[in-house]
Structures are given as C-alpha cells and as structure tokens.
Amino acid sequence: MTSTLKGITLKGSAEIVADFFSFGINSILYQRGIYPPETFTRVTQYDLSLMLTTDANLKTYLASVVAQLKEWLCECTVQKLVLVITCLETNEVLERWQFDIECDKSAKENCAPREKPIKAIQEEIRSVIRQITATVTFLPLLETACAFDLLVYTDKDLEVPDKWEESGPQIINQSEEVRLRSFTTSIHKVNSMVAYKKSDSF
Amino acid sequence: MEDLSEDTMVFNTLKSFKSFMSRPERIHSQPTYGASDLGKLYTHKMEMEEAVKRVHSHTSLLQLSQEKQQMELSHKRARIELEKEAQCNARDLQREVDKNQELQLRIGRLEEREAETGRSFAEREESMQQLRKRIQELQKQLEDKDSTLTHANETVTSLKDEVRDLNHQLQTHQSRINTLTLDKDSLQEQLDLQHKKFKDVSQQLQTIQSSQTANEESQLKIRELERQLALQEGDSVIVRSMKSEVARVPDLERELKRLREESAFLRETHENSSLLKEEVEGLRKKVERMEQIREDLLNMELQKEKLQTKLQAWENLGQNTGLNIRKPEDLSREVIDIQQRELSLKQQNYTLTSSVRGAERSCAELRAELTALKSKSLEDHKRRDTHDALVRRLQKRVLLLTKERDGMRAILESYDSELASSEYSPQLTRRLKEAEELLQRVQAHSADMEAQISKAQEDAATFKLQAQTAEMELEVLKKQQASATEGNTAATSEEMQALRLKVEELESERQRLEEQNNVLEMRLERHNLQGDYDPVRTKVVHLRFNPTSVAKQTAPGGGGAAEGGATETPRAHSLWRHGNHRRPPQHPAHTGSARE
C-alpha cells in the first residue's frame, strides 16, 4: 500500500480498492461454499479475521484479475466488477455480486492527494465485508455444483488485453436485489450489492 | 217559214239584178257610130261598166251581207238548237248517270246480299258439318251404349248367378239360425233357474245385514262398558298413588334437604358460570379484535395489490407515453428542450408587450396631432368665413362704385351734350379733370380690391385644400388608431391567453416528465442493480480462462480436472465427497466481529 497518512493518491486508491476486491471475492467464495472450506486459510485484515484461498489455480486467477483491475482502476476505465455464480448443470446464473465503481476522473496521478484518513476507509470496508458475511443468512442455499466468474464492466473504448475477451452481462432471470453498504476512498467509490435468483419455494 | 220567204226574196232580187245586167250589153253592142263617138261610147261604156260593176258589187255586197246576216241568223239558230240539244243531251246523260248510279247501288246491294247469302250458306254448311259430327258422335255414343248394354246384360247374368248362390247361402244360414234359436231357448231356461237362485241369495243377504247391525250395537255397548271399567281402574290407581305418596312423605322431606343442598351448589356454580361468561366476553372481544386485525390485513393486502398495479402502470408509463426516454439523459434533454421553448415563448411575450406599448405611444401621439389639426382646421374655417364676408363687402362696394361711375359718366355726357356747341369753360374742364382723376382712383381702388378678393379667394381655396387634406389625414389616423387598438388589444389578449395556456401546458408536461423521469430513474436503477448496462458506453470483459469456463470444459469429459490444468470445480467434488455438506463450518467474519 502506497497510501500515506497525509492523503490518498489515485494509485493508492486503486490499490485499496483492488485489495478490497481480493478479500471480498475470497470471503464470498468461502461463505457461499463454492470451494471447500479446507482450501481456505485464516488471515487478519481490516481488523477482521478473513479467509484466503490456498488453491494455487484460484490464487493465480485472482491475482491476474486483480492486477488487471488495478491497472484499469488507475485509468478510471472500470465501471463494475461482478462475481457471477452459475449452476454447472443448467448453466443458470444463481447469484450476482456486483460492485459498482464510481471513479473521480478529475483525479490524475500528479494531482494533490485527497485527505481522507485510511482508518475511516478501512472502517467502511470492514462494514461492507461484514455485510457480505451476513448475507449468508438470507441467500438461498446453493444445492447444485456451482462455479464462479468475474466480469468487469469497462469503458467501451478500452482495448481488450490478451487472455481477456468480451462477455455478456449474465443477468439473472427473475432476481431479487439487495443493496449493501458502500465505501469510498474519495477517488473511487464502491457500491456493493447482491442479486440472487428468486427461489420457487418462497 | 219566214226565213224561207226571206230567202226567196233575196233570190228574186238577185234574178232581177242579173236580168238588168244582161240588157246593157245588147244596147252597147248596137250603136256603132264614128270614131269620136267611139271614144265617147267607150268612156260611156266604161262608165256604164263601172257603174254596172259598182251596182253589181253593191248588189253582191248586199247579197253577201244578206247572206252573212242569214248565215249569222242560221248560225244563231243552229247554235241555239245545238245548245238545246246539248242541254237535252246533258239531261239525258245525267239521267243515265243517275240511272247508272242507281244500278251500281243496286249491284252493290245485290253483291252484299250475295256475300251475306254466301256467308249464311257457309254458316249453314258449317252447322251441317257440326250436325254431321254430332250425328257421328251420337252414333259412337250409341255404339258405346250398346257395348255397355251388352256388358250390363253380361253382369246381369252374372248377378243372377250370384243371387242364386246367395239364396243358397241364405237357406243354409236360416237353417243355422233355427239351430241357434233352439240353443237360445235352452239357455233362457237355464237363466231363469239362475234368477231364482239369485233371489234366494239376496234374501239371505238381507238377513245377514240385519244381524250385522245388531252386532255393531252390541259392540258399542261393550266399548261403553270397557270405558266405565277403565275409569274405575284409574280411580283405584289414584287411590293407590295417594296411599303411596302418603307413605313417601318422609322420603320427600329427605329429598327436599338434598335439593336445598343442590340449589346451594348450583348457586355457586352459577356464580362461577357468570365469571366464566365474563371471561368468554373478554375472549370474544379479543376475537373481534383479531377479526378486525384480519380485515385490516386484507385491506392492506388489497392496498398492496393496488399499489403493485399502480407501480406496474408507472413502469408501463414509459411505453404508453410513446416517448423515447430510456435514459435519464434523454429525459433531461427533453426537459431542457421544454425549458428552452418556455424561454423562447417568454421572449415572444416580452416582444409583444413592448410592441403593444409602442403602438399605444404612437396612438397617443396621433391623438395629439389630431387635436392640433382639428384646432387648425377650425381656425382655417374661421379665417375663410371672415374672408368670405370681406369679399362680399368688397363686391358690394365695387358694385356701388361702378354705379357711381356710371352716374358720373352720364352726368358728364349730359354736360358734353349741353356744352357741345359752346366753348369749354375752364371750370368745366377742371371739374372734368377732377372727375376723371376720381374715376381713375376709383378704378385703381376697385382693381386693388379685385386683386385682394382674388387673393383672398385663392387663400380660401388653399385653406380649404389644407382643411380637406387635414381631414383626410385625420380620418386615416383614426382608422389606423382604431385598427391598431383593436388589433393590438385583441391580439395581445389572445396571445397572452395562448401563452399562458402554453406555459401551463408546459408546466404540466414538465411535471409529468419529472414523474416519468423519477419512474424511469427507478427502473434504471433496478436494471442497474440487475446488472444491465449501456452497450454504447460500456462493455463487459472477463478472463478467457475463468473457473466457470474451465469447469464447463472439464465437466463433460468426466474427471478431467487434472487434464484441464486450470481451476477445477472443487465445490462439485466436495458435494460428491461430503454428501449434503452445504455450508462452511463457521463464519470467521462473525467471529472476528464478535471478537472486536
């Protein structure tokens, strides 16, 4: 983390947000049971004990995505990051964890750093992650074999890098949406929400 | 006959004349004298001959004339006779013609008769033919009748045969009837026997009926007796019961005690029951409250449904309105357009009001000009009147002066005539000169006056022209003013109203659009929440080798996770391994927060 006590630069903000995404995605994967819990290890971050994956493939995948995302965050070309959980049997989208990113495009790399204490940002991030864990109480059970994918909504004029390709939005048919808390680094603002498929039994 | 006599007369005269004529020739032939006498004779002869010729011609002429007269007469007679004959002939001809006509008529009548007779003949022939036909028909009928007669004879013979057969049958029937009558007689005898039996039976029945009535009477008596017996039994039962009751009195006293105890117990229970009733009432109230709550709940549900329908209507509003508003930007654009229109309308309004003010100002100016022109025209009128009066006076004076001048001239002429012969006296000449001078002066004065009059007239004419032009201008201005005021007021008021209406409409439209905007924003947010995006500005990318794609690639292969080399679907594996293992064993975040 390059953020200093004095203030937050664009690069620092991007790093904070990318870290949040890394931990957030890990905890969602753990909470929703997409990967077996024995493949996770406990880490303390944001004064919270969080779970991080030990799966090498997943680690590399997440690292590559987060690195790319950090770049785009610095360019302010990313609009959304979406974690899509799909049923492997039916190819049906069951959950969508959506993180809307509002970039302050006036903030340039050489600009003066914004004055927001890092502790306050961490406090906000902590509340968001807590909410993510709390959502397990109302989200429907995932009873089938599921897999996840990370979609990034970017500006149209962005050049798609190698290994990346364009995709559909993968919208849930008949969904319920729950808005979660948001946090801001005063350069990037992240609004989080979860949409899940309405189960027929309800 | 007369004619014939006349003719004879003529012939007689002719004979005498011829005889006379023949004589002179003998006379002339006898004297044969010398030469001188010859000449004389010759001339005499000649003369005689001439005379003879003359007489002869005369007589021939007479004869011819007589002949002519006779011829004429005869001609006349012949003509008359001819005419008579012609008339007779014509009469005969007419008679014959009449006769002919009559004959022709007769012929026609006869022909008609002939035709009629021919017709009647033909009719008769036809009737004859008809009669023949009838005769033939009658003959035919006769033949038919003959044939029918023969048939009838045949049938008669056949019928006679039948009659014979029938007679035979009749005889057989009669024989049968005889046998049947015999049977009948035997049966009647039997019937009589039966009748007798019936009479006996009826007598027996009567006796039985009488015995039945007697039986019924005896039964009634038996019932009465039974009733009396029952009454006696009832009396005996009453007596027995009275006895038993008398015996039961101590038992009853005991029962009374028991009943008293029971009544006390019942009173207690009654109190309890009242308490219970109160409780029941309380419960009832509770139930009523519950029902009310339920009703409220139902109402709430209804309201909820209504609100849902409303919400749907709002959601559908965008489609219904037909506005192509999909994004808040479109809406804001439209709002901006409307505001711009409003601004333009306001500007128009301002310009119109300013123009109205200008028109009013010009109107006021025109009014002031009008009043000035009116006063001017009045002054001109006055001047003209004074000038006219002056002109009249001057004309009068001119007339008087001309008269004076004429009078003076007459005086001078009279002086001249008086003093023509005598010498001119110096006095007179002087006076004359004076008079002439006076005259000249008067003339000059009159000329001046005339010039002044003409000038005044000219002035008057110019003034008149000016007045007319001023009036014209005034009228024009009035018209302009009227039109301007009318047009301006009407136009401005109408425009103002129209603009107000427009402004109101725009306001309402703005409000509507605002509402639509809100609805659309809500929908947009919802869509946004669901993950929708604007494909014009945004695109969605993901890593080609993401866990889902890898899992999909490996899944159909069956346990090809190691072969794929990428992240497999461990959840599936864990599901297979752990059966119903759903959730992680603990929630570290919770624990963390708890620790905090």
Residues 65-84 of B with CB under 8 A from A: none
Interface contact flag, B569 A98, Cβ < 8 Å: no
Q: What is the DSSP string of B549-573?
A: HHHHHHHHHSS-HHHH-S---HHHH
Q: Nearest to residue A97, comparing CAs of A56, A136, A143? A: A136
Check CB contact of B26 with chain A, cutoff 8 Å. Answer: no
Nearest to A165 among B532, B541, B590 (CB): B541
* Tens-digit pLDDT profile for residues B551-561: 888 766 444 33
* Tens-digit pLDDT profile for residues B86-97: 999 999 999 999
CA distance B347 to chain A (A): 38
Structure tokens at B444: 């000059």
Residue A148 and residue A85 in contact, taking contact as beta carbons nearer than 8 Å: yes
Please work out, in degrees rounded to the nearest 5, the angle formed at the alpha carbon of residue B368 by the alpha carbons of B362 and B372: 140
Interface contact flag, A35 B570, Cβ < 8 Å: yes
Nearest CA in chain B to A193: B529
Interface contact flag, B546 A172, Cβ < 8 Å: no
Q: SS3 of A117, please?
A: coil
Residue A176: strand pairing partners: A196
Residue-level pLDDT at B103: 94
Range with the poorest average pLDDT among A98-107, B8-17, B20-29, B530-539: B20-29
Residue A113 and residue A15 in contact, taking contact as beta carbons nearer than 8 Å: no
pTM, two decimals, is 0.38
Residue-level pLDDT at A2: 43
Please work out, in degrees rounded to the nearest 5, the angle formed at the alpha carbon of residue B429 by the alpha carbons of B423 and B430: 145
Check CB contact of B528 with chain A, cutoff 8 Å. Answer: yes
Nearest to B541 among A55, A130, A152 (CB): A152
Q: What is the DSSP string of A140-199?
A: PP--S-EEEEEEEEEETTPPPPTTEEE----PPSSEEEEEEEEEE-SSEEEEEEEEEEPP
Q: Which helix (H) or strand (E) holds B77?
A: helix B35-321
Residue among A30, A35, A197 with most chain B CBs within 10 A, to mutate: A35
Nearest to A88 among B569, B583, B589 (CB): B569
Which residue type, as a one-letter code, is found at position B555?
Answer: A
Strand stretches in B206-352, DSSP E: none
Give, rounded to a whole angstrom, the gap between the first and last alpha carbons of chain A. 45
Residue A190 makes CB contacts below 8 A (sequence gap 6+) with A17, A20, A99, A100, A101, A102, A128, A182, A183, A184
Residue A73 and residue A22 in contact, taking contact as beta carbons nearer than 8 Å: no
Q: Nearest to residue A171, comparing CAs of B328, B519, B529, B523? A: B529
Residue among B548, B553, B574, B575 with most chain A CBs within 10 A, to mutate: B548
Nearest CA in chain B to A87: B548
pLDDT band at A3 (very low <50, low <70, confident <90, very high): very low
Phi, psi dihedrals of residue B136, rounded to the nearest 5°: -60, -45
CA distance B535 to chain A (A): 8
Task: Spell out which residues of chain B touch residue A102, defining contact as CB-CB under 8 Å.
Answer: none
Residues 158-197 of A with CB under 8 A from B: 158, 160, 163-172, 175, 177, 179, 193, 195
Residue-level pLDDT at B548: 86
Residue A37: CB atoms within 10 Å: 16
Nearest to B530 among A40, A64, A177 (CB): A177
Residues of chain B above pLDDT 70, percent = 85
Task: Spell out which residues of chain A touch residue B585, defining contact as CB-CB under 8 Å.
Answer: 37
Residue A82 and residue A151 in contact, taking contact as beta carbons nearer than 8 Å: yes
Nearest CA in chain A to B526: A177
Give the residue-averaged pLDDT of B222-246: 90
Residue tagged 């033909």 (tokens):
B122
Residue among A60, A80, A88, A100 with most chain B CBs within 10 A, to mutate: A88
Q: SS3 of A157, please?
A: coil
Interface contact flag, A164 B533, Cβ < 8 Å: no
Residue-level pLDDT at B580: 38
d(CA B318, CA B322): 7
- CA gyration radius, chain A: 17
d(CA B277, CA B225): 61
Give the residue-averaged pLDDT of B533-547: 85
Residues 108-147 of A with CB under 8 A from B: 129-130, 132-133, 136, 141-143, 145-147
Q: What is the DSSP string of A38-80?
A: GGEEEEEETTEEEEEE--HHHHHHHHHHHHHHHHHHHHT-EEE
How is residue B421 annotated by DSSP?
Answer: S
The ipTM, to two decimals, is: 0.86
d(CA A68, CA B575): 32
Nearest CA in chain B to A63: B543
Residue B435 and residue B363 in contact, taking contact as beta carbons nearer than 8 Å: no
CA distances B87 to B83, B91, B141, Å, are 6, 6, 78
d(CA A153, CA B540): 4
- Going from N- to C-terminal start, the domains of chain B cover 2-77, 169-325, 441-537
Residue A86 and residue A92 in contact, taking contact as beta carbons nearer than 8 Å: yes
Q: Please classify residue A86 by burial: count the beta carbons closer than 10 Å to its beta carbon, then call 0-12 exposed, 13-18 middle and 19+ buried.
A: buried
Which residue type, as a one-letter code, is found at position B155?
Answer: T
Q: What is the DSSP string of B346-415?
A: HHHHHHHHHHHHHHHHHHHHHHHHHHHHHHHHHHHHHHHHHHHHHHHHHHHHHHHHHHHHHHHHHHHHHH
CA distance A202 to chain B (A): 17
Check CB contact of B533 with chain A, cutoff 8 Å. Answer: yes
Structure tokens at B571: 């959840």
Structure tokens at B416: 């001249």
Q: Please classify residue B527 by burial: count the beta carbons closer than 10 Å to its beta carbon, then call 0-12 exposed, 13-18 middle and 19+ buried.
A: middle
Interface contact flag, A154 B533, Cβ < 8 Å: no
CA distances A70 to A63, A67, B221, Å, are 10, 5, 131
Residues 559-578 of B with CB under 8 A from A: 565-575
* Tens-digit pLDDT profile for residues B431-473: 888 888 888 888 898 888 888 888 888 888 888 888 888 888 8
CA distance A190 to chain B (A): 13
Q: Give the full edge-to-edge strand order of the sheet including A188-197.
A: A164-166, B538-543, A146-155, A78-87, A93-103, A188-197, A175-184
Interface contact flag, B548 A148, Cβ < 8 Å: yes
* Tens-digit pLDDT profile for residues B121-145: 999 999 999 999 999 999 999 999 9
Task: Spell out which residues of chain A touch residue B526, defining contact as CB-CB under 8 Å.
Answer: 177
* Tens-digit pLDDT profile for residues A133-177: 898 888 888 888 899 999 999 988 888 888 888 888 888 888 888
Interface contact flag, A58 B569, Cβ < 8 Å: no
CA distance B503 to chain A (A): 39
| Angle subtended by helix axes B2-29 and B35-321, to nearest 10 | 140
Interface contact flag, B573 A36, Cβ < 8 Å: yes
Tell me the count of A-B CB pairs closer than 8 A. Answer: 178
Residue A167 and residue B541 in contact, taking contact as beta carbons nearer than 8 Å: yes
Task: Spell out which residues of chain A touch residue B529, defining contact as CB-CB under 8 Å.
Answer: 98, 177, 179, 193, 195
Task: Spell out which residues of chain B touch residue A50, defining contact as CB-CB under 8 Å.
Answer: 588-589, 592
Interface contact flag, B540 A169, Cβ < 8 Å: yes
Range with the poorest average pLDDT among B203-212, B370-379, B541-550: B541-550
Q: SS3 of A3, please?
A: coil
Q: Is the pLDDT of residue B368 over 50?
A: yes
Which residue type, as a one-letter code, is found at position B495?
Answer: E
Range with the poorest average pLDDT among A11-15, B13-17, B363-367: B13-17
Sign of CA dihedral B393, B399, B401, B404: negative
Residue A2 and residue A12 in contact, taking contact as beta carbons nearer than 8 Å: yes
Residue-level pLDDT at B160: 93
pLDDT band at B163 (very low <50, low <70, confident <90, very high): very high
| Angle subtended by helix axes A118-134 and A10-31, to nearest 10 | 20
Interface contact flag, A171 B543, Cβ < 8 Å: no
Residue-level pLDDT at A4: 44
d(CA B596, CA B593): 5
Q: What is the DSSP string of B79-93?
A: HHHHHHHHHHHHHHH
Phi, psi dihedrals of residue B324, rounded to the nearest 5°: -85, 60
Interface contact flag, A164 B542, Cβ < 8 Å: yes
Check CB contact of A98 with chain B, cutoff 8 Å. Answer: yes
Q: SS3 of A193, please?
A: strand
